[in-house]
Amino acid sequence: MAKEFKQTWKAATGGKKVPSAVETICFDSTEEMQKFLSPERIRLIRTIHDLKPKSIIELATQLERDRKNVTEDVKMLESVGLIERKRRIKGGKSKEKVRLSVDYDRIQLDIAV
C-alpha cells in the first residue's frame, strides 16, 4: 500500500490527474499524513463542504488565503479524489466556470501500531 500511496503522491504533487478517485490513502508516517492533510487543506475541504463556493476565487476569499496557493491545494486534493471540480463553459464564452464539491461527510484516520 505504501507503494500505491507514493505513486499517487508523486502524481498529485506533479500536477497530474490520478486515474480514479482513491478510496484509501496510506501514509508511511504521521509526518507524511500531516504534510498531505495539513490544517489549511482540511479547512479548505470543510469550507467547500459547508459553504459550497462557486469558484476558486470565492473559496480563496472565504479562506482569506492567496488564490495561487488555494489553486495548488485544490489541484492536489482533486487529483486524489478528495474534492471534485466541475467545469463548464458559460454562455459560449471561453471563460470557464468551476464548481467545487466535497461528496462525503467524514475522513477517517486509522493508525496501525
pLDDT at 95: 56
Range of the domain at 8: 2-101
Q: Is residue 112 part of a domain?
A: no
Find the mean pLDDT for residues 38-65.
Answer: 94
**How far is the C-alpha of 25 from the C-alpha of 97, rounded, in Å?**
29
Q: Is residue 80 part of a domain?
A: yes
Counting residues of the chain whose pLDDT is more than 90, the rounded percentage is: 32
CATH code assigned at 86: 1.10.10.10
Say if residue 19's pLDDT is above 60: no
Q: Is residue 49 part of a domain?
A: yes
58-67: Cβ within 8 A, 24+ apart: 59/100, 65/40
Q: How far is CA 40 from CA 19, 82, 91, 95, 100, in A?
A: 25, 14, 34, 28, 16
Which residue did the predictor score with more confidence, 25 or 69? 69
pLDDT at 64: 98
